[in-house]
Amino acid sequence: MKRDFLSVRDFTKEEILEAFELAKDMKLDRFKYSESLKGQTLALIFEKPSLRTRTSFDVGIQQLGGFSLYLSPNEISLGKRESVYDVAKNLERMVQGIMIRTFGHDIVEDMAKYASIPIINGLTDYSHPCQAMADFMTISEIKGKFEGLKLCYCGDGNNVAHSLMFAGARLGVNVTIACPQGYEPNPVALQLAREDARATGAKIEVEYDPFHAVKDADVVYTDVWASMGQEAETEKRKQIFIPYQVNQKLMDNAKSDAIFMHCLPAHRGDEVTGDVIDSPYSVVFQEAENRLHAQKAVMYKLMKK
């Protein structure tokens, strides 16, 4: 049966843990799986630009023995030049999987509904599941466990925050979102995460005081204050989010062995200070590398015949 990966919630806890073990094995020996997707092609649809998503999927499918096909906004222009339905029905006859990085989450849901091949969400305004997979793989490598850990995310309750909540709920990690009033996570996403958390005992909370939120955190995480498509709000958001900047004073309120994470790209001096992101406890580049390995595991699970 066809499987898609539109949200972290599409995988059970057991499937996520299996994917992490597979990703770690792939990280140890990139040649071991070099023919596992031999002859298969992954279409890469980009409505938003990317460094890590483009590189990790492009390199990842090739390391698994397959091919990638890059499709830019000019070539498709989803919903304008061609409908999502027509794109899905065309591509399903020519490639074996589709990764899509776009704006509305409804676009990836429609693509999954219409296409008979696996669809992977490379980012939407609602969800960024591949990032969360890399994030929690990194946490596993460093902390060696999930249960009982606390992750504090400081900033906008955006797509990254949603996926961190979903993954934390699945894996038993307590997740606190520290954000200004009016910038909370989507209420449906919050409700879904809390429902999932009942099975693992994880706490999913929203706080408005960042110093209280970060207390006893094992992981401190942040993201840019204005995401793609919100550029017009940049200056307004800077004033609102200044109290949520991750600086050394804030980090000092977390656990002494806390790590710092960021999905990148980062704006040093805005959501994080240079002394934090470039510190020994920052794991942002290990986290970025793990996009490659985690996504290889996802492609393997979905596309392996």
Name the catalytic one among 9, 52, 128, 237.
128
Type of residue at 80:
K
Q: Exactly one of 135, 223, 237, 295 is catalytic; which is it?
A: 223
Beta-sheet pairing, 97-101 with 119-123: parallel
Rounded Cα–Cα distance for residues 240 and 226 (Å): 11
Q: CB 28: neighbour CB atoms within 10 A? A: 9
Point out which residues pair with 259 in neighbouring strands.
219
Are residues 252 and 273 in contact, defined by beta-carbon separation less than 8 angstroms? no
DSSP letters spanning 200-260: TT--EEEES-HHHHTTT-SEEEE--SS-TT-GGGHHHHHHHHGGG-B-HHHHTTS-TT-EE
Taking alpha carbons only, the member of 67, 53, 135 closest to residue 96 is 67
Catalytic residue among 237, 262, 291, 293: 291
Q: Single out the residue of 152, 138, 141 nearest to residue 218, CA to CA.
A: 152
128 annotated active-site: yes
E strands, 59-128, in order = 67-71, 97-101, 119-123
Q: Does 198 participate in catalysis according to the annotation?
A: no
Q: Is residue 81 among the annotated active site residues?
A: no
Q: 184 is written with which tokens?
A: 């909370």
Closest CA to 18 of 305, 303, 209, 300: 300
Tell me if residue 262 is catalytic. no
Annotated active-site residue 194? The verdict is no
Q: Which residues pair with 207 in a beta bridge?
A: 178
291 is catalytic: yes
- Determine which one of 263, 270, 293, 295 is catalytic: 263
Task: Please state, in angstroms and as integers, the Cα–Cα distance from residue 294 to each residue in 122, 125, 133, 211, 290, following that order.
Answer: 12, 21, 6, 32, 6
Write out the catalytic residue numbers.
101, 128, 131, 223, 263, 291
